[in-house]
Structure 1
Amino acid sequence: MHIYRRLMTINRRGFSAEIRRPGTMRPGTPSPPPPPSPVPSEEAGPAPSLTLPGSRTHPLLLYGTAWKKGATAELVTTALRTGFQGVDTACQPKHYREDLVGNGLKEFLMTSVRGQHTPRDTLFIQSKFTSPGGQDPRNCPYKLTLPLASMVKMSVTTSLAHLDTYLDALLLHSPMETHAETLEAYRVLEDYVRLEKIWHLGVSNVALPELERLYEECQVKPAIVQNRFWPGNNWDVDVRRFCRDHGMVWQSFWTLSGNPQLLKSGVVQRVAIRVLEDSDKKEEALYLLVLALGRGWEKGGGVAILDGTTREVAMKSDCEAAALVGEVSDAELGEFKGLIGEEV
């Protein structure tokens, strides 16, 4: 029932491989801390950001840490120094080294950039609870014989210890096998929001019917959906519309690996030339067009991208490109929406 698929491509970005299976505060819950200020960066200025319920900000790019193995800590530190303001991980040893994400984060926060230390609240740190079906039984962060609620608690406790900080977001890596189990797991996460150990909740690899039902029945509303952007789910147009209508952030993965035809499209080529002034930057141009899908959402939220490049030069280029999302013209965005079947 839980399908985790791995797709690895080697290009100028290095390995681009991702696994992926959102919450307003309940009345009476203390307000979250003020929106973060921009992260000092050696290479790139602050990119535009999205607004989550409660007015916290969400970066346009999150550094994806799946399959980074022993290089995870160094890559996380490099990504943050280069201009990334968010990191995505999961308590799933099978594919993530969440402990090394914590080490990389700590190294970055302890190291000055241009003579200044970066405050923790300028970053967006996100992890996920992975169900038993997505875990390696030989290396699982919780006992598989435990009740579901205990599994979730043990996983979250492990994430908080690994990352040594509160979490800006915690997602279900996928819905559970039944809706009742999904709701049970989600309600455990709601308790951590009330305890102010997690600020926002979300869900990944979710179809619209399950998302609608979860949103209706939970108390801390999902603030984030993390889904594939590819032809296999019609580029998730219906789920993204739901996110727009409810002020949620829709996070894209498989953005490059799942879309070789879009990378060859005329509108991607034209954006690369006109906005980025480099015909070879088709990948950055596709990122810009995907990010622009979330432009102008009246209730907040928008579109963000998980970016798992291992090359520093690509990290820098992606961050610089993201700052130009406002330069995509309405005509270019309309043409791109036509390619993926989204209403203009």
Structure 2
Amino acid sequence: MRTHDSTPHLPTVGIGTFQLKSGTVIRDVLHSALSIGIRLFDTAQCYRNEELISQSLISLLPDFSLTRSDITIVSKLDPKNQGTEKAEAAVEKTLECFGGYVDVMLIHWPGVSKMKSDDPQIKVIRKESWKVLEDYQVKGKIKHIGVSNYTVYHLKELINYCSIKPTVLQNEFHPRYQELDVLEFCQEHGIKFMGYSPFGQGDLLSDKTIVAIAEKHHVLPSNVLVQWALQRGAICIPRTTKPERVIENLEYSSFILDSDDMQQMARLNDGHKFCWDPHRVV
């Protein structure tokens, strides 16, 4: 198995763009992010906003004396585009959006659109998709490849057949859903863990434990949740549609969660998912 630069140097904090549809909102959110030094931007084919993100970045980067090579673009293969031919065509469209290459490309979901989650053919199709990503990495058009919403079961299967091992896994990650088995697997195999939905779709921002810890450190609950993810070794990609929240969430005085804070937050781990659950996908 080739490792193919298995330890990518990626920013530890980025911006998620799920549900960002308006060109104006996208531009304003990206402007706020760039203004505070954010250089990683996460999107996906099924978000239907790759082109708008690309247009906004082309417009904004010169204002910050930046070029395409100064930022990291993460995108994901739509579940409807799984399989050799569909994956190749879809990847080409994403590459065209972002200047001919993508920094990180992930398989978004272990399943396939319009197929039952227990259909054994899914295994064959996602293997085809992975081979496509490997081919594009060898060509130099994708720097790093990985997966999203994979369980340990899916990861073990992938490791067993891949020629180039995944360098990034992007999963839901917050104090109520900590996936300790997945984190351990990633550490053992040198896979970067990227956590999405760090605020639990906003639910955790009002959690009494999180609020108390925020008050203790004189920061916002969102700051606590981002810092928790970073101290757990994850790349954190919070999402917001409000430009001012980008700054509130990510530009704050440095602080460290102490062992008592971390223990309290560890006890919040009840396995609650706010987003889609891949465990039934064969």
Name the TM-score class by shorter chain: 0.7 to 0.9
**2: distance between equivalents of 1:186 and 1:251?**
19
3-state SS of the aligned residue for 2:147? strand
> Which residue does the alignment assign to 2:280?
none
> What is the CA distance between 1:259 and its match in structure 2?
6.8
The list of structure 1 runs, each at least 4 consecutive aligned residues, that deviate by more than 6 angstroms after superposition, is: none
User: For residues 44-193 of structure 1, what are the structure 2 equivalents within 5 Å?
Assistant: 53-54=6-7, 56-71=8-23, 72-92=26-46, 95-111=47-63, 113=64, 117-132=65-80, 148-177=83-112, 178-193=122-137
Matches within 5 A, 1:263-302: 263-266=206-209, 268-275=210-217, 277-278=218-219, 281-294=220-233
Structure with greater proportional helix content: 2
**Change in 2 beyond 3 A, CA 1:270/1:244:** farther
Q: Structure 2: which 5+ residue stretches go unaligned?
A: 113-121, 272-282
- SS for the counterpart of 1:200 is strand
In structure 2, C-alpha distance between the alignment counterparts of 1:188 and 1:103, rounded to whole Å: 26
Q: Shift in Å at residue 98 of structure 1?
A: 0.7
- Inter-CA distance 121–153: structure 2 relative to 1 (3 Å threshold): same
For residues 240-277 of structure 1, give each alpha carbon's deviation from its aligned partner in whole angstroms, at most 9, with x where no partner exists: 221122222222222213573574243x23432343x2
Q: How far apart, CA to CA, are the structure 1 residues paired with 2:174 and 2:231? A: 16
Q: State the alpha-carbon separation in 1 of the partners of residues 187 and 146 from structure 2.
A: 15
Structure 1, gaps ≥5 residues long: 1-22, 32-52, 133-141, 295-302
Contact 1:24 1:200 in 2 (8 A): no
Asked if the contact 1:171–1:201 (Cα under 8 Å) also holds between the matched residues in 2, the reply is yes
- Aligned residue for 1:60, secondary structure, equals coil
- Distance in 2, matches of 1:337 and 1:219, equals 36
CA distance in structure 2 between the partners assigned to 1:259 and 1:66 by the alignment: 14
Q: Deviations over 1:289-326 (max 9, x none)?
A: 122111xxxxxxxx0222221222221122224x736x
Cα distance, 1:335 vs structure 2: 2.9
SS in 1 for 2:185: helix
State how far apart, in whole Å, the 1-side matches of 2:97 and 2:77 are. Answer: 13
Residue matched to 2:196: 253
Shift of 1:24: 7.0
Q: Which residue of 1 aligns with 2:235?
A: 304
Q: Normalising to structure 1: TM-score of the pair?
A: 0.68
Q: Please give the alpha-carbon distance, in whole angstroms, between the structure 2 residues aligned to 1:65 and 1:76.
A: 9
Percent identity, please. Answer: 24
Offset of residue 341 of structure 1: 6.8
- Which AA in structure 2 matches 1:339? L
User: In 2, Cα distance between the equivalents of 1:166 and 1:308?
Assistant: 24
Task: Tell me if 1:226 matches 2:178.
Answer: no
